[in-house]
Amino acid sequence: MRGIRHLLLSSISAATAVFMFGGISAANDRITMTIITKDPDNHFWTSMVEGAQKAAKDLDVQITVAAGRDQSDADGQIQAIEFAIQRGDKAILIANNGPAVNGAIKKARDAGLLVYALDTPTDPTNLVDATFASDNFQAGVLIGKWAAASLAGKPAKIALLDLFADKVVSVDYQRDQGFLKGMGIDIKDPKKNGDEDKTGSYSGGKYEIVCNQATNGAEDGGRTAMENCLSLNPDINVVYSANETSGVGAVQALKAAGIKNALVVSIDGSCRGVKTVADGDFGAVSQQYPSAMGKFGVEAAVNQIRNKVAPKPTAGIDFTNTGITLVTDKPASGIESIDAKKGTELCW
Protein backbone atom coordinates (compact mmCIF):
# COMPACT_ATOMS: atom_id res chain seq x y z
CA MET A 1 0.00 0.00 0.00
CA ARG A 2 2.84 2.31 0.87
CA GLY A 3 4.31 1.59 -2.47
CA ILE A 4 1.23 2.56 -4.37
CA ARG A 5 0.93 5.78 -2.47
CA HIS A 6 4.53 6.53 -3.33
CA LEU A 7 3.85 5.93 -6.96
CA LEU A 8 0.71 7.99 -7.11
CA LEU A 9 2.30 10.87 -5.25
CA SER A 10 5.22 11.03 -7.61
CA SER A 11 3.11 10.92 -10.74
CA ILE A 12 0.69 13.48 -9.41
CA SER A 13 3.41 15.90 -8.48
CA ALA A 14 5.06 15.52 -11.85
CA ALA A 15 1.79 15.98 -13.66
CA THR A 16 0.89 18.95 -11.50
CA ALA A 17 4.15 20.63 -12.29
CA VAL A 18 3.44 20.21 -15.92
CA PHE A 19 -0.13 21.43 -15.80
CA MET A 20 0.56 24.27 -13.42
CA PHE A 21 3.44 25.74 -15.23
CA GLY A 22 2.54 24.73 -18.70
CA GLY A 23 -0.50 25.68 -20.56
CA ILE A 24 -2.64 23.73 -22.86
CA SER A 25 -1.71 25.18 -26.16
CA ALA A 26 -4.73 24.51 -28.24
CA ALA A 27 -4.63 25.41 -31.86
CA ASN A 28 -5.50 29.07 -32.18
CA ASP A 29 -4.70 31.77 -34.65
CA ARG A 30 -2.83 34.01 -32.30
CA ILE A 31 0.62 34.73 -33.62
CA THR A 32 3.23 32.77 -31.69
CA MET A 33 6.94 33.44 -31.68
CA THR A 34 10.03 32.56 -29.73
CA ILE A 35 12.83 34.72 -28.40
CA ILE A 36 16.13 32.97 -27.79
CA THR A 37 18.75 34.82 -25.77
CA LYS A 38 22.33 33.92 -24.96
CA ASP A 39 21.92 33.02 -21.33
CA PRO A 40 19.01 32.96 -18.96
CA ASP A 41 20.06 35.21 -16.12
CA ASN A 42 22.22 38.09 -17.28
CA HIS A 43 20.36 41.35 -16.73
CA PHE A 44 21.07 42.47 -20.26
CA TRP A 45 19.15 39.57 -21.69
CA THR A 46 16.38 39.64 -19.18
CA SER A 47 15.66 43.28 -20.04
CA MET A 48 15.68 42.39 -23.73
CA VAL A 49 13.16 39.69 -22.94
CA GLU A 50 11.08 42.12 -20.89
CA GLY A 51 10.99 44.59 -23.75
CA ALA A 52 9.93 41.84 -26.11
CA GLN A 53 7.28 40.49 -23.75
CA LYS A 54 5.77 43.92 -23.23
CA ALA A 55 5.58 44.53 -26.96
CA ALA A 56 4.09 41.06 -27.42
CA LYS A 57 1.41 41.75 -24.85
CA ASP A 58 0.54 45.06 -26.47
CA LEU A 59 0.21 43.38 -29.85
CA ASP A 60 -1.62 40.30 -28.55
CA VAL A 61 1.11 37.93 -29.56
CA GLN A 62 2.24 34.86 -27.61
CA ILE A 63 5.97 34.78 -27.07
CA THR A 64 7.97 31.88 -25.65
CA VAL A 65 11.28 32.52 -23.96
CA ALA A 66 14.33 30.30 -24.36
CA ALA A 67 18.04 30.73 -23.86
CA GLY A 68 21.34 28.96 -24.11
CA ARG A 69 22.71 27.72 -20.83
CA ASP A 70 25.53 30.21 -21.09
CA GLN A 71 27.13 32.38 -23.74
CA SER A 72 28.76 29.48 -25.52
CA ASP A 73 25.87 27.01 -25.49
CA ALA A 74 24.96 26.59 -29.13
CA ASP A 75 23.43 23.18 -28.42
CA GLY A 76 20.64 24.57 -26.30
CA GLN A 77 19.90 27.25 -28.86
CA ILE A 78 19.70 24.68 -31.63
CA GLN A 79 17.22 22.72 -29.55
CA ALA A 80 15.20 25.86 -28.90
CA ILE A 81 15.01 26.60 -32.62
CA GLU A 82 13.87 23.05 -33.30
CA PHE A 83 11.16 23.32 -30.67
CA ALA A 84 9.98 26.61 -32.16
CA ILE A 85 9.57 24.95 -35.52
CA GLN A 86 7.73 22.04 -33.94
CA ARG A 87 5.40 24.30 -32.03
CA GLY A 88 4.38 26.02 -35.20
CA ASP A 89 5.75 29.45 -34.25
CA LYS A 90 5.76 32.09 -36.94
CA ALA A 91 8.98 33.87 -35.98
CA ILE A 92 12.20 33.46 -34.04
CA LEU A 93 14.21 36.29 -32.49
CA ILE A 94 17.67 35.07 -31.60
CA ALA A 95 20.88 36.40 -30.06
CA ASN A 96 23.14 33.69 -31.34
CA ASN A 97 25.90 31.93 -29.44
CA GLY A 98 28.02 31.25 -32.46
CA PRO A 99 27.91 29.97 -36.03
CA ALA A 100 26.94 26.48 -34.85
CA VAL A 101 23.31 27.59 -34.89
CA ASN A 102 23.41 28.53 -38.57
CA GLY A 103 22.19 25.12 -39.71
CA ALA A 104 19.20 25.29 -37.44
CA ILE A 105 18.39 28.86 -38.50
CA LYS A 106 18.37 27.74 -42.09
CA LYS A 107 16.04 24.87 -41.22
CA ALA A 108 13.68 27.34 -39.56
CA ARG A 109 13.59 29.64 -42.54
CA ASP A 110 13.07 26.70 -44.87
CA ALA A 111 10.10 25.75 -42.73
CA GLY A 112 8.66 29.20 -43.35
CA LEU A 113 9.53 30.94 -40.08
CA LEU A 114 10.85 34.49 -39.90
CA VAL A 115 14.20 34.73 -38.17
CA TYR A 116 15.61 37.98 -36.81
CA ALA A 117 19.00 38.37 -35.16
CA LEU A 118 19.07 40.43 -31.97
CA ASP A 119 22.18 42.10 -30.56
CA THR A 120 24.69 39.76 -32.21
CA PRO A 121 24.63 39.58 -35.99
CA THR A 122 24.87 36.13 -37.48
CA ASP A 123 27.84 35.25 -39.60
CA PRO A 124 27.00 35.71 -42.50
CA THR A 125 24.57 38.52 -41.72
CA ASN A 126 22.16 37.72 -44.53
CA LEU A 127 21.37 34.33 -42.99
CA VAL A 128 18.45 36.00 -41.23
CA ASP A 129 15.57 38.15 -42.38
CA ALA A 130 16.65 41.18 -40.34
CA THR A 131 19.09 42.20 -37.63
CA PHE A 132 18.53 44.50 -34.66
CA ALA A 133 21.82 45.20 -32.97
CA SER A 134 24.03 47.68 -31.39
CA ASP A 135 27.61 47.62 -32.28
CA ASN A 136 29.65 46.20 -29.43
CA PHE A 137 32.85 47.21 -31.13
CA GLN A 138 31.64 50.78 -31.37
CA ALA A 139 30.65 50.66 -27.72
CA GLY A 140 34.24 49.77 -26.89
CA VAL A 141 35.60 52.50 -29.12
CA LEU A 142 33.57 55.16 -27.31
CA ILE A 143 34.92 54.34 -23.87
CA GLY A 144 38.40 53.89 -25.32
CA LYS A 145 38.35 57.35 -26.81
CA TRP A 146 37.02 58.79 -23.58
CA ALA A 147 39.76 57.10 -21.56
CA ALA A 148 42.49 58.30 -23.92
CA ALA A 149 41.18 61.86 -23.78
CA SER A 150 40.78 61.82 -20.00
CA LEU A 151 44.35 60.64 -19.46
CA ALA A 152 45.56 63.89 -20.98
CA GLY A 153 48.90 62.54 -22.11
CA LYS A 154 49.79 60.59 -18.96
CA PRO A 155 51.29 57.12 -19.53
CA ALA A 156 48.53 54.56 -19.37
CA LYS A 157 48.88 51.41 -17.24
CA ILE A 158 45.96 49.32 -18.47
CA ALA A 159 44.13 46.40 -16.91
CA LEU A 160 41.85 44.52 -19.33
CA LEU A 161 39.14 42.52 -17.56
CA ASP A 162 37.63 40.31 -20.26
CA LEU A 163 34.70 37.93 -19.98
CA PHE A 164 36.00 34.42 -20.56
CA ALA A 165 39.27 32.55 -20.67
CA ASP A 166 37.82 29.21 -21.72
CA LYS A 167 35.60 30.27 -24.57
CA VAL A 168 35.71 32.70 -27.44
CA VAL A 169 32.56 34.78 -27.60
CA SER A 170 31.97 37.64 -30.02
CA VAL A 171 30.88 40.24 -27.49
CA ASP A 172 34.05 39.55 -25.53
CA TYR A 173 36.50 40.34 -28.28
CA GLN A 174 34.41 43.05 -29.88
CA ARG A 175 34.23 45.15 -26.71
CA ASP A 176 37.87 44.57 -25.73
CA GLN A 177 39.28 45.28 -29.17
CA GLY A 178 36.92 48.25 -29.61
CA PHE A 179 38.23 49.77 -26.39
CA LEU A 180 41.85 49.37 -27.45
CA LYS A 181 41.08 50.76 -30.88
CA GLY A 182 39.40 53.73 -29.26
CA MET A 183 42.55 54.28 -27.27
CA GLY A 184 44.55 54.26 -30.48
CA ILE A 185 46.39 51.02 -29.81
CA ASP A 186 47.21 48.56 -32.58
CA ILE A 187 44.87 45.63 -31.96
CA LYS A 188 46.42 43.16 -34.41
CA ASP A 189 43.75 40.46 -34.88
CA PRO A 190 40.37 42.06 -34.09
CA LYS A 191 38.88 38.69 -33.19
CA LYS A 192 41.50 37.84 -30.62
CA ASN A 193 42.01 39.29 -27.17
CA GLY A 194 45.48 39.55 -25.72
CA ASP A 195 47.59 39.54 -28.87
CA GLU A 196 48.54 43.21 -28.72
CA ASP A 197 51.99 44.53 -27.87
CA LYS A 198 52.34 44.84 -24.14
CA THR A 199 53.91 48.27 -24.40
CA GLY A 200 53.78 50.98 -26.99
CA SER A 201 52.01 54.21 -27.73
CA TYR A 202 48.38 55.11 -27.48
CA SER A 203 46.81 58.19 -28.97
CA GLY A 204 47.95 60.37 -26.06
CA GLY A 205 51.26 58.90 -24.97
CA LYS A 206 52.85 55.68 -23.81
CA TYR A 207 50.91 52.64 -22.65
CA GLU A 208 51.56 49.38 -20.88
CA ILE A 209 49.03 46.54 -20.81
CA VAL A 210 49.43 44.98 -17.40
CA CYS A 211 47.04 42.07 -17.74
CA ASN A 212 44.21 40.31 -19.60
CA GLN A 213 42.16 38.54 -16.93
CA ALA A 214 38.84 36.73 -17.25
CA THR A 215 35.98 37.48 -14.89
CA ASN A 216 33.21 35.23 -16.26
CA GLY A 217 31.17 38.43 -16.24
CA ALA A 218 30.53 38.09 -12.54
CA GLU A 219 31.11 40.43 -9.64
CA ASP A 220 33.35 38.12 -7.62
CA GLY A 221 35.24 37.26 -10.79
CA GLY A 222 35.79 40.96 -11.37
CA ARG A 223 37.15 41.45 -7.89
CA THR A 224 39.54 38.50 -8.10
CA ALA A 225 40.74 39.50 -11.55
CA MET A 226 41.40 43.08 -10.42
CA GLU A 227 43.31 41.87 -7.37
CA ASN A 228 45.45 39.63 -9.59
CA CYS A 229 46.20 42.55 -11.87
CA LEU A 230 47.12 44.81 -8.96
CA SER A 231 49.62 42.27 -7.67
CA LEU A 232 51.27 42.42 -11.07
CA ASN A 233 51.40 46.21 -11.02
CA PRO A 234 49.93 48.38 -8.27
CA ASP A 235 50.09 51.52 -10.41
CA ILE A 236 47.26 50.64 -12.76
CA ASN A 237 45.37 53.75 -13.78
CA VAL A 238 43.03 52.52 -16.53
CA VAL A 239 40.64 49.62 -16.03
CA TYR A 240 38.47 48.24 -18.86
CA SER A 241 35.79 45.80 -17.76
CA ALA A 242 33.76 43.92 -20.35
CA ASN A 243 30.53 44.34 -18.45
CA GLU A 244 29.31 46.37 -15.54
CA THR A 245 28.78 43.49 -13.14
CA SER A 246 32.42 42.53 -13.22
CA GLY A 247 33.34 46.22 -13.20
CA VAL A 248 31.60 46.70 -9.88
CA GLY A 249 33.69 43.89 -8.45
CA ALA A 250 36.83 45.50 -9.80
CA VAL A 251 35.88 48.80 -8.11
CA GLN A 252 35.71 47.01 -4.74
CA ALA A 253 39.22 45.69 -5.25
CA LEU A 254 40.52 49.14 -6.17
CA LYS A 255 38.92 50.69 -3.11
CA ALA A 256 40.37 47.98 -0.90
CA ALA A 257 43.79 48.78 -2.33
CA GLY A 258 43.29 52.44 -1.69
CA ILE A 259 43.45 53.47 -5.32
CA LYS A 260 41.26 56.50 -5.92
CA ASN A 261 42.00 57.90 -9.31
CA ALA A 262 42.01 55.01 -11.73
CA LEU A 263 39.77 55.44 -14.77
CA VAL A 264 37.29 52.59 -14.78
CA VAL A 265 35.22 52.15 -17.92
CA SER A 266 32.63 49.58 -18.89
CA ILE A 267 29.81 48.77 -21.27
CA ASP A 268 26.15 47.91 -20.76
CA GLY A 269 24.21 50.91 -19.46
CA SER A 270 22.23 49.15 -16.79
CA CYS A 271 20.76 51.23 -13.99
CA ARG A 272 23.33 49.84 -11.62
CA GLY A 273 26.11 50.81 -13.98
CA VAL A 274 24.80 54.32 -14.44
CA LYS A 275 24.52 54.73 -10.66
CA THR A 276 28.15 53.66 -10.36
CA VAL A 277 28.97 56.48 -12.77
CA ALA A 278 26.96 58.89 -10.66
CA ASP A 279 28.85 57.71 -7.57
CA GLY A 280 32.10 58.50 -9.30
CA ASP A 281 33.38 54.93 -9.28
CA PHE A 282 32.96 54.37 -13.01
CA GLY A 283 34.46 57.03 -15.21
CA ALA A 284 32.21 56.30 -18.17
CA VAL A 285 30.03 53.56 -19.60
CA SER A 286 28.68 52.90 -23.05
CA GLN A 287 24.96 52.46 -22.78
CA GLN A 288 23.13 49.94 -24.94
CA TYR A 289 19.40 49.41 -25.21
CA PRO A 290 18.54 45.73 -25.02
CA SER A 291 14.96 46.40 -24.13
CA ALA A 292 14.57 48.43 -27.31
CA MET A 293 16.05 45.60 -29.31
CA GLY A 294 13.45 43.24 -27.92
CA LYS A 295 10.63 45.68 -28.53
CA PHE A 296 11.63 46.58 -32.08
CA GLY A 297 12.23 42.98 -32.93
CA VAL A 298 8.77 41.90 -31.89
CA GLU A 299 7.06 44.87 -33.50
CA ALA A 300 8.85 44.37 -36.78
CA ALA A 301 8.15 40.67 -36.81
CA VAL A 302 4.46 41.20 -36.21
CA ASN A 303 4.42 43.90 -38.85
CA GLN A 304 6.00 41.55 -41.34
CA ILE A 305 3.68 38.69 -40.49
CA ARG A 306 0.45 40.67 -40.44
CA ASN A 307 1.13 43.34 -43.02
CA LYS A 308 3.88 41.74 -45.06
CA VAL A 309 6.11 44.77 -44.52
CA ALA A 310 9.79 43.86 -44.13
CA PRO A 311 11.89 45.95 -41.71
CA LYS A 312 14.37 48.37 -43.25
CA PRO A 313 17.89 48.49 -41.92
CA THR A 314 19.50 51.72 -40.72
CA ALA A 315 21.01 53.66 -43.55
CA GLY A 316 24.49 52.59 -44.55
CA ILE A 317 24.65 49.34 -42.60
CA ASP A 318 22.86 46.06 -42.97
CA PHE A 319 21.21 46.06 -39.59
CA THR A 320 18.90 48.26 -37.57
CA ASN A 321 21.05 50.12 -35.10
CA THR A 322 19.35 50.40 -31.76
CA GLY A 323 21.90 52.85 -30.53
CA ILE A 324 24.80 53.35 -28.10
CA THR A 325 25.37 56.38 -25.96
CA LEU A 326 28.33 57.33 -23.80
CA VAL A 327 27.29 58.09 -20.23
CA THR A 328 29.69 60.10 -18.07
CA ASP A 329 29.73 62.95 -15.59
CA LYS A 330 33.14 64.03 -16.81
CA PRO A 331 32.68 64.62 -20.53
CA ALA A 332 35.77 64.71 -22.71
CA SER A 333 36.01 67.27 -25.44
CA GLY A 334 35.09 66.11 -28.88
CA ILE A 335 33.24 63.05 -27.62
CA GLU A 336 29.48 63.20 -27.43
CA SER A 337 27.99 61.96 -24.18
CA ILE A 338 25.09 62.28 -21.79
CA ASP A 339 25.33 62.72 -18.05
CA ALA A 340 24.43 60.17 -15.45
CA LYS A 341 21.11 61.84 -14.71
CA LYS A 342 19.96 61.44 -18.29
CA GLY A 343 21.47 57.99 -18.35
CA THR A 344 19.28 56.99 -15.44
CA GLU A 345 16.15 57.82 -17.39
CA LEU A 346 17.21 55.50 -20.17
CA CYS A 347 18.73 52.74 -18.12
CA TRP A 348 17.44 49.19 -17.80
Partner 1 sequence: MPRRARNSAGNEPAAKQTVAMSAPETETMTAAEAYRRRALTPMQRIQRVLHRYPQISPFLVLIVTAAVFSFINPRFLQPSNLSLILQQVAVIGALAIGQTLIILTAGIDLSVGAVMILATMVMGSLAGYHGVPGWLALLVGLGVGASAGFLNGLLVARMKLPPFIVTLGTLNVFTAISLIMSGGRSIPGDALGDLLTFTNVSFPVGPFQMTIGALLVIVTYLVVGGALSQTPWGRHVYAVGDDPAAARLAGIEVRRLLISVYTIAGVIFGLSAWVLIGRVGAATPNSAVDANLDSITAVVIGGTSLFGGRGGLIGSFIGAITVGVFRNGLALARVDVLYQTLAIGLLIIAAVSLDQWIRKVRVRK
Q: Pick the closer one to partner 1 by CB: 81 or 239.
A: 81
**Which of 58, 88, 154, 220: binder of partner 1 (CB under 8 A)?**
88
Would you count residue 80 as binding partner 1 (CB under 8 A)?
A: yes
Length of the chain: 348
Q: How far is the CB of 72 from partner 1 (least distance, A)?
A: 4
State whether residue 135 is helix, strand or coil. coil
Q: Pick the closer one to partner 1 by CB: 19 or 341.
A: 19
88 Cβ neighbours under 8 A, 6+ residues apart: 32
Q: How far is the CB of 14 from partner 1 (least distance, A)?
A: 5
Would you count residue 100 as binding partner 1 (CB under 8 A)?
A: yes
Q: How far apart are the first and last CA of the chain?
A: 55
Q: How far is the CB of 9 from partner 1 (least distance, A)?
A: 8
Would you count residue 83 as binding partner 1 (CB under 8 A)?
A: yes
Stretch that binds partner 1, among 135-143, 165-173, 270-278, 289-297 (CB under 8 A): 165-173
Strands across the sheet with 32-37, in order? 62-67, 32-37, 91-94, 114-118, 130-133, 320-321
Q: Pick the closer one to partner 1 by CB: 7 or 232.
A: 7
Question: Which x/- pattern, by CB under 8 A, does the window 29-68 give for partner 1?
Answer: -----------x---------------------x-xxxx-
212 Cβ neighbours under 8 A, 6+ residues apart: 160, 162, 176, 193, 194
Would you count residue 23 as binding partner 1 (CB under 8 A)?
A: yes
The H or E element that residue 284 is part of is: strand 284-288
DSSP state letters, 75-98: HHHHHHHHHHHHHT-SEEEE--SS
Cα–Cα distance, 267 to 145 (Å, whole number): 13
Q: How far is the CB of 85 from partner 1 (least distance, A)?
A: 8
CA atoms within 13 A on the CB side of 71: 17
Contact residues for partner 1, defined by CB under 8 A: 3-4, 6-7, 10-11, 13-15, 17-19, 21-25, 40, 62, 64-67, 69-70, 72-75, 78-80, 82-83, 86-88, 98-100, 102-103, 164-168
